[in-house]
A = this chain, B = another copy of it.
Amino acid sequence: MVNFTLHNPVKLVFGKGMIAELKNLIPGGTKVLMTYGGGSIKKNGVYDQVRQALAGYDVVEFGGIEANPRYETCMKAAELAKKEKVGFLLAVGGGSVLDGTKFIAVAATYTAGDPWEIMEGRVPVKAALPLGAVMTLPATGSEMNTYSVISRDSIGEKLAFGSDHVYPKFSILDPETTFSLPLRQTENGIVDTWVHVMEQYMNDVECSALTSRLAESVLKTLVEMAPKVIAKPTDYNVRAELMWCATVGLNGWLGLGAAAQDWATHMIGHELTALYGLDHARTLAVIMPAVHRFQLKRKQARLAQFGTRVFHLVEGDEATRAAQAIDRMEAFFQSMEVPTRLLAYGIDAAVAGKQVAERLSKRGRKLGEYEDIGPVEVEAIMNLAK
């Protein structure tokens, strides 16, 4: 177990009817920029709930933040925030809206140059407008963490940044807002949460026994809830569990005490989204089994433990259970009709492998827990995902 610091100041306000709490969470008299996405919140009643709760506030709106939020869009919102001199940003929507809003919060206070410098890691974040969230899609965990992923079309880039300055002051999670989510987005959210947990869990050097079990708890709950939400999308308790899983999945708790994490799947996935426009979660479902098969020997013990504890595998030796564990994970994704192979998207593994390898090569960094996944290894992983 390695040293760690845990300090997560986000106020999580969870449950039905909680959007009305907005008036107690944003200081009175503050001018608010309300950000949202493609307008689904206007169909499912969330928009009206938020506007009603903000009745006493001066509110400016900025809609149209995309899935995989774009730099170009966020910069327009940041200009608006500056022009209107807003004092608080309220993201209403899914992880993309919140990720975008985190970047807007930084960009609106950044005067030293182009805020993209922050995405490239060349400049540290020194300030941000305060922000809060009403989350309507459980997936990214963005509601209780410091991370944001932004895409920039003009240069075909998708990059992440993180800063304590963009911790939401609060996040409201009302599971009822997820009742109307399309099945595809619900399933994507489950896969995204799953992969977040696994990328923290799948280290084999040094970690905490307790933290590992906390991670397994989220995985087991996802396995339990996935068929239930498909069977009955309006089951409040099931929706609540999925929302709670997504938050715990990436609020920092599941990495505590571990020497390393392994985000190779996300890194490769981001490239696939940038290249082929695939849904973020769907890239993960394709890449994660391949990454684990690639690392099978080295991470055999950890994979076997995962299989035994999450999928109750008891037959066979460690090597057998490790291999079975990956098969079971892939079958879990497939049970939600989420494809796990490149072929399903008409993508040639050899071609895509070369493309992704080339992009990673340009970035000059290697991936995975041991930072040993370079261009050659990426091509091998992509071949395992064919």
Contact = CB atoms under 8 A, between A and B. Distances in A.
Interface of A: 1-18, 175, 208-211, 213-214, 216-218, 220-221, 224-225, 236-237, 240-241, 244-245, 248, 253, 256-257
A244 B253 CA distance: 12
Nearest to A175: B1
Contacts of A2: 15
Contacts of A216: 213, 217
A257 B237 CA distance: 10
B217 A244 contact: no
A1 B245 CA distance: 13
Contact of A217 (B1, B217, B225): B217
Contact of A11 (B7, B18, B208, B218): B7
A256 B13 CA distance: 11
Contacts of A8: 8
11 contacts: A1-B236, A3-B14, A4-B12, A5-B14, A6-B11, A7-B9, A7-B11, A213-B218, A213-B220, A213-B221, A240-B257
B213 A217 contact: yes
A110 B316 CA distance: 65
The 8 A-B residue pairs with the shortest CB-CB distance in the complex, in nearest-first order: A3-B15, A213-B217, A7-B11, A6-B12, A1-B240, A210-B221, A9-B9, A210-B244
Contacts of A217: 210, 213-214, 216-217
Given A3-B15, A4-B15, A213-B220, 6 more contacts: A1-B237, A6-B12, A7-B11, A14-B257, A213-B221, A214-B217
Contacts of A14: 3-6, 256-257
A197 to B, nearest CB: 11
Q: Which of A15, A241, A244 has the most C-beta atoms of chain B within 10 angstroms of its own C-beta?
A: A244
Nearest to A12: B6
Contacts of A1: 15, 175, 236-237, 240-241, 244
